[in-house]
Every structure is written in C-alpha cells, then in structure tokens.
Structure 1
C-alpha cells in the first residue's frame, strides 16, 4: 500500500494517495469505502499520475455539513486545486464515486478529459436490499453497528468470488465502520441517494440528462454478478449515454477494479489512448 497523505480543502481534511507520472487519473471510491479499493488497479497501471481520494465523510476524510452529489463533487474539485492537478484529467469512479464523477463532469466539464464508470450509481432504481432498509428508522442503527461478521458479509457481497474478501479487506471494512460518526454519515449519504423504494429518480434523471449533453468520452463497465447494483443497469447506461462505450465483465461483482484488475487496466489504457 502506498502511503496516503492529507490536504485541507475548505477547512476540511481530505486523504489522498498519489503515485506515478504522466496524464492525471482521478480515482473515486464507492459508498462507505476508501481509496484502498484502488490499490490493485494503481499497481496494474503505469504511465499515469494516479490520484485516489477518500470522498468526504469516508475513509479518513472529514465529513461535510451536506452530502449532496454537488457538494461531494465540489470538494473533489477543491482537492484537485490544492494538489495542482491540471484540467483535463481522466476520472474513474466506482459505485457512488461514479455518480460523483459524473456530477464533477457536468459541473466542471473542463476538468474532465474522460469518464470511466465502474458499476456506477445513477443508472437505475434497483439496489441491494441492505441499502434500501437504511431508510427505515432504528433498523439502520442495527445494520450499521460495527461487527466482524457484518464486515465479512459486506465484503463477500461485493465480489463474485469470495476469495477476494480477504482478512485484510474485512479488517479494513471493520476499522472504517468503527470510525466516529461513520454509521451516521453512511446513512445520511444513502438517504440522499435513495429510499426503501430504491435509488431516487430525481437526481438520476437530472444528472444523466446533463452528462448526455457533454462531449466527454465515456466508458461504462459492469460485472455480470453485481449484487449491489445489478448488471441490467448497463443497458440503461447504453440508452442514457448512447455515445458511451460499454463492457460487461463475466464472473465479476461490484468491484471490477479488484476482481478483474488486469482486464480493467488494459481496458482503461486502450480507452485513454484511443483518439
């Protein structure tokens, strides 16, 4: 694991890890996750300046007063300013990070040279029941209570092959869940995006309409066995963003950047090098 560092953005601490040289690539993780999710991909890619960021309220970055996508995207943009990342960076997002990446592109298109969306939020209503019930009073406290068994079950749910739910990843998930305010931040963010009915339509439709009007190369990748956001969302993505390239990975879950890292690295390199 490369050593992570901290910068201050608008009075809030942001954790990031930067390696390599070359065109900048920004890596944004999913809900309740951290920049460690990008470690396999960062090891597999070369020839780029890779910058993984803990989104506000997750990993070891401080939470913001609000958790709307626009606020998260502005905070990422602020971190890029502090880190002196030039405009025209490739932005890669997984799950929640994909929605933040799209919001960043819509709000500051000059910042984004391309979008790579891996099992990204924003393409459909369907979502795992564990996120739906976070909308229910009291139950969310029980569900998000830190426990080794819960961490193990959560890690296994994001992979097709349970071998990827390693003791190290389970231990990290448990440590993140024990951070002060972690459960409340997770629930706030989940509630902002969806309810017991599923992912909210309003922000999805608004965001996809704006992104579809951008002239930004876009790649959307999904795993056939994603149990968090189903692979049927890839069809929705192709409809909403007809100019995007799409790819379905067999025998992969919600974390293709870990489970199918070599294929994803080759795919991204080809996508970025293509005129």
Structure 2
C-alpha cells in the first residue's frame, strides 16, 4: 500500500503537467475531446457515409421518429448537440455536416449555393433511407431546410426554423462572410457576441486556437457567402407561401444577425406557421439555451 501511495504521489504531478501541456500547447485536443464527450452524453455517435465519392460526417442517436437538424454557415454538426441531448429519448436525431463544413472536405468544385446544399441534404436523406422526417435548421441551415421543404414537401412532416435566414426584408446583409482575418481576442469576442446573447468565458489558449481555426477558413467562408448571395434561392420571399407543412418559427429575441422582421414574415407568409420567441437568446439559441429550444421543438412536434 505504501508503495502504491508513493507511486500515486509521484504520478499526480506528472499528470497535472501533462494536462497543462495539452491545454496550453494543444488546445485543439481539448476542443475535440469536449465535443466528443458532449455528443456521447447526448446519446449520439459519430458516423461517416460516402455519397458520390464524397465522405459525409454526421452524428446519429436516439429512438423514435427521425428528426434531422441542420447547422448554419461556418458551423458544424455539433451545433445542435446540446438540444439533441434533450430529444434523443423521444426521437432519432441526425446531425449532418453540410458541404464544406465541419469534417466534410472543402472542394472548390462543389455547389455551395442554397440549392447546392438543399440537394446535398436530399442525397444524405436518400443514403440514410429516410422517406420522411421532421426537419429543423438554424440560420443558413434553416434557409436550406425551408428550400428543401419547398422542393420535397412530402418528405418533411414538420419544419422548425431557428433564427433562419432566407428572406430579404430590409437592407440587412445576412451572408456577409467573415471579412478579414481575426487579429485580436477582442475581435473574436465581438464575433461571438453577434452569435450569442450571453457568450461564455473562453480560456485564452482555447480562444487562440479557435481564432487560428477560424482564420484558416476565412477565405473559404467568404467564398461560401458569395455562393449563397449570388446563387439561386437566396431570397425565398416569393415562395414560402407555398409551404403547407406545419412550421415552427423559433427565434432568439436578441438576434443581431437576422432581423426580427424575417421571423415575422416567415410566420405570416407560411400558412400553417406559429412563432415562438425565446427571450435572452441570440442568433444560435440551440447553443446557449438548448433546453428551452428542445422543449419548444418537442411541444411543437407533439402538438395536434
């Protein structure tokens, strides 16, 4: 026993040093591990599937009717993990990476317009043998989900638009891209404040890792934004009245990215839509208010 305790006493400082080294010199390991643990806690497992030679990454878990949840631009499949964790007891939840996002490889030859992403979502559904499902999307993911529902109305049983882009109702430019590279931590904080009403405190090493990761994709994300702005179905304003699928327009009230007028227009123009507002939540409420988002979605999906 004494020998064991002595070994523990010697090992603990080494372990602490190792953890500190990872935290400061390899923060990406911490980020990836955190995401993996969060997905596992939500009842989700990672999968890949090859579609037309393109490897697609997605998370899948739970039992029940299928709910497909689609992230926004420059985001990835982990965006809805917190919300999914509240839903996998009732639904099979699938979280895919969109074209060029997350772990899906960027390729300059792909179509990153809304129609391109819409058709990519259709190929995912076909590959997973999904004939019909509930569909939810945030920001660009909501835009893509609305376009998908217009194109495939018989496949979508219910539609959830979470602070969705897709309507041009004033001079606000939603798909502006990232612009220049982030040079300071203050600029990173400002970017987070646009997406979240109450951004969490991020340790310096993790923040610097996220800045580096973001900067490595700035040109690509800016190109994605151009592809959406200049591509078909950039503005669905003249089409959404054709959506007869029951629709929940779920909106973080403090959104400074997509104007409230877009939420109101979706709710007014889609014949069978209802608007639910989430106070003290911003553009990505599924990330900062996952329980409230899940509760609203579950209530809607179970309603008559």
Question: TM (normalized to structure 2)?
Answer: 0.75
Report the equivalent of 2:102: 59
**RMSD of aligned alpha carbons:** 2.8
1: CA distance between counterparts of 2:188 and 2:100? Answer: 18
Deviation at 1:193? Answer: 3.1
Q: Secondary structure at the match of 2:294?
A: helix
CA contact (8 A) 2:182 2:188 kept: no
Larger Rg: 2
Deviation at 1:22? Answer: 0.8
Q: Secondary structure at the match of 2:239?
A: helix
Residue 141 (structure 2) pairs with residue 97 (structure 1): yes
Residue 71 (structure 2) pairs with residue 34 (structure 1): no
Deviation at 1:110? Answer: 2.0
Report the equivalent of 1:106: 150
Report the equivalent of 1:270: 299
Report the equivalent of 1:87: 131
2: CA distance between counterparts of 1:235 and 1:31? Answer: 22
1:203 maps to which of 233, 238, 251: 233
Runs of 4+ in 1 over 6 A off after TM superposition: 127-130
Change (3 A) 1:30 1:175: farther
Q: Secondary structure at the match of 1:27?
A: strand
Report the equivalent of 1:12: 54
Q: Which runs of 5+ in 2 are unaligned?
A: 1-37, 40-44
Q: Which runs of 5+ in 1 are unaligned?
A: none
2:243 maps to which of 200, 214, 223: 214
Change (3 A) 1:83 1:49: same
CA contact (8 A) 1:28 1:98 kept: yes
Deviation at 1:62? Answer: 2.4
Query: Comparing 228-237 with 243-252, which one deviates more in the overlay?
Result: 228-237
1: CA distance between counterparts of 2:94 and 2:269? Answer: 28
1:117-266 aligned at under 5 Å gives the runs 117-125=161-169, 132=176, 134=177, 140=179, 143-144=180-181, 150-163=187-200, 166-167=202-203, 170=207, 173-174=210-211, 176-177=213-214, 182-194=217-229, 203-205=233-235, 207-266=236-295
Question: TM (normalized to structure 1)?
Answer: 0.82
Deviation at 1:149? Answer: 5.0
Change (3 A) 1:169 1:19: farther
Deviation at 1:221? Answer: 1.3
Deviation sequence 1:147-206 (CA, Å, 0-9, x none): 75544432232111122x645985774465255xx33331122113338xxxx9x7354x
CA contact (8 A) 1:9 1:75 kept: no
Count the aligned residue pairs: 258
Deviation at 1:229? Answer: 1.0
